Amino acid sequence: MSLRLKALALVEVLLRVPPLFVVDEFLKISLGLPVSSEEVPVLSNVTVDHVDILEPDVNYYDANFYNAFFVTFFKFLVCCSGCLSSLCIFVLYAKHLIIVYLYLTSLGIVFVSYWTNVSAIKQIQALAQLATSPHHSSSILEDILNLNLKNLFDLDGPGVLVVQNFAIQFALSIVFRNVHLGPRVPLIQKLLPVSFMAPSFLAMLPMPPNLLHHSPVFSSLLPLLLVKFVLWSSTYTIIHVIYAGYQHGRLFVSNYGLSALVETEWMRLNVPCVLRVFWVLRVAEHAILLLMDNYDEDTEEGVRISTLLAVQSLASMAKSLLVTGCETITAVLGMTSVISFFCHYIGNFFQWILLTDEEEDKSIGTVSAILFYILALQTGLTSLHPEKRFIRLCKNVCLLFTALLHFLHNIVNPMLMSLSASHNPSIHRHVRALGVCAFLIIFPISLLVYLWSQHNVSTWLLAVTAFSIEVIVKVVVSLMIYSLFLIDAYRSTFWEQLDDYVYYIRAFGNTIEFCFGIFLFFNGAWILLFESGGAIRAVMMCIHAYFNIWCEARAGWSVFMKRRTAVNKINSLKEASYTQLSNLDDVCAICYQEMHSAKITRCNHFFHGVCLRKWLYVQDRCPLCHDILYKIDNDANKDSNSDAEAEENRNNQNHVLEEGADLLLGDGVRWLRQN
């Protein structure tokens, strides 16, 4: 990407940040809704002595209650409208965004000009009233005509104020002339500077105070009329843009689906980058305010004291920034984007260590963002007291980091399997992978030792412990399988028991993970019932129960039943004798390895027992002649089922064989050894 395109992308990102600040300000006041008992109107002056319950016309309490309700409801509607308008501006295209900002800039210039004129006129009138000297002129014009340089160049006099206001209004008029979207009529363009600077001209003349007091209003009429004309004349265009956007979204959803529309708009708006810039600017704003509060201008050693305070309060300042950095939903989204950015580069760092560049592994930033945001919603991060919010934020980050360890294991595990099965002679690649595994074991252990020594037993600590032990178990299982594959790679003969050992080790690891899944479910249920309930936590528990418990249990049971069925089928076949194998003098047609032991099918074909067992996971026919591998029982139901299965296998034979190849090679071990 060229420098020009990068600059344009940055400008577009910056254009989308202000609407987020507007939404954030509305969320800071909770959309106008009362969030504490201090904001609810309390009628402390209403007592039983003041209300006669026998008079039905006395409704003082009800009147005040309904007034407060309608005021709150009106504030809520205004805040919701402001949020909706800001989000609509946020999703506009860049050319429309520029038009909106030009209009808002011109409107802002009108109000700045008005208040600047009002402030200058008030100061000039105040100075005129304080002038008690008999030699003082009644106006600036008389001072100019009398060449009264003392009054004209007095820094606290009206002359200097008029000159300053002249310069400000002239600059504002030039900017307004270039940015306003109204008709570019030459006469109006020439009158605009005069309109802006009219109060300054009148302040030089001996004018009546009332006329001078109202002059800023009249000076703002011409630019304000231009602004209103632009708004009214653009109404149809605005409606057309909104309707066109609605039509585009509707057509896109009907053709490609809602998820495709969200993904496309997410990429177009560059949402992660916009959220990061928004959060960084928000934190920078708060940091500047904190530094200004710490600076003591009244002392002679203000700079030294401020520097000392900055050093001493660095930790408290960082804590304050983190607390305010997640006080609203938009702030949490910004923090989520920042955390995703760092997690993405953490993943890139470990990919650099492992010398891998898999595209699927680069989703670590997206996964970490989703996890952090779900944790924030689940724990009610934005609604907590600042002190509790900081503690909860630290706990959520700790949980996120333990989840990150699992993701790192998913990166290093296939690398270990590939290195061991392919007999890769590159020692440094083995060392890198084993180093990452050592980190994934040592760091969780160190973390658990620290947490258990510093914190009391709690549901959060139990969850972190479960995640940490689980990742340790997964790494140990990977190392054990890596060792087995490495041993098998250096063997000169076929290791028939390898598949059994790998199955038992993985079954052990999966069982431990399943037990921890059940433990985390009950831990979450305890939190839901006795600590902090909520709809989001309940939904997440249901998702966890379905995917991590029910689906895993069903998949594990399915694998177990397939394996047991395959073993029973294999045991029904004859074992080849040493003489038969010597006379055959061939390799297994499935794995192409020498056969020191083999099973004989009904069609008189020889295969390794373990290879044939894997083949039976897919279908019941011989890999060579597609005849039935084993004897079929005489039961009618079994016959019908077998015939139906045979017919289906015939129709899908090519597809099944392709799938069977992957299962037969089991983790790619045999294929890697052959290549």
DSSP-assigned states of every residue in 502-537: HHHHHHHHHHHHHHHHHHHHHHHHHIIIII---HHH
Structure confidence at residue 362 (pLDDT): 63
Cα gap 208→609, rounded to integer Å? 111
Q: Which residue has the tokens 């076949």?
A: 573
Structure confidence at residue 665 (pLDDT): 36
Structure confidence at residue 131 (pLDDT): 55
C-beta separation of 605 from 628 below 8 A: no
Structure confidence at residue 563 (pLDDT): 75
C-beta separation of 586 from 614 below 8 A: no
Q: State the SS3 of 350-367.
A: HHHHHCCCCCHHHHHHHH
Structure confidence at residue 52 (pLDDT): 44
pLDDT digits (tens, 9 = 90+) for 544-596: 888 888 988 888 888 888 777 777 777 778 888 888 888 888 888 888 778 87
β-bridge pairing 599-600 and 574-575? antiparallel
Structure confidence at residue 428 (pLDDT): 87
Structure confidence at residue 146 (pLDDT): 59
Q: Which domains does the chain have, with CATH numbers?
A: 235-268 (no CATH), 326-519 (no CATH), 572-674 (3.30.40.10)
Give the chain's residues under pLDDT 70: 1, 35-63, 65, 128-159, 294-313, 359-362, 423-424, 494, 617-618, 629-675
Among 513, 316, 498, 312, which residue's Cα sits nearest to residue 420?
498
The amino acid sitting at 52 is D
Structure confidence at residue 20 (pLDDT): 93
